[in-house]
């Protein structure tokens, strides 16, 4: 048992909707193995999402990676959220953390 870091991006109206969609995608692609190294092995953090921009732009992705790295990728088995700004269809959400692998 180990842990590997991840960062995933998804457009949705809420961070909860984005997280659920990413977990479903990971389960569909990698199965329900509790050690598959994806976001599906984590729970959504209760910490409020960090807001880095009002609208989505090219620099937001770079900023999200910098935040995740500075936070040492968060806690094991927890997905922390970053609001990367408004875009067509909702907000661009980034989730990062340590997944079981």
Report percent pLDDT > 70 for the chain.
Answer: 99
First to last CA, the chain: 6
Instruction: Give the chain's mean pLDDT.
Output: 94
State the average pLDDT over residues 69-93. Answer: 95
Domain spans, the chain:
3-99
Is the pTM for the entire model greater than 0.95?
A: no
pLDDT of 72 higher than 70: yes
The one-character DSSP state at 48 is P
Token pair 């620099």 is at which residue?
A: 59
Model pLDDT for residues 10-34, shown as the tens digit of each residue = 999 999 999 999 999 999 999 888 8
pLDDT of 50 higher than 70: yes
Token pair 């990367």 is at which residue?
A: 84
CB atoms within 10 A of CB 77: 14
């Amino acid at each position: 048992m180990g842990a590997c870091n991840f960062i995933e991006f998804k457009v949705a109206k809420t961070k909860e909707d984005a997280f659920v969609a990413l977990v479903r995608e990971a389960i569909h692609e990698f199965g329900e193995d509790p050690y598959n190294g994806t976001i599906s092995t984590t729970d959504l953090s209760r910490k409020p999402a960090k807001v880095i921009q009002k609208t989505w732009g090219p620099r937001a992705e770079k900023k999200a990676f910098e935040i995740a790295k500075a936070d040492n990728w968060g806690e094991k088995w927890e997905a922390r959220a970053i609001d990367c700004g408004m875009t067509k269809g909702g907000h661009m959400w980034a989730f990062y953390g340590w997944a079981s692998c």
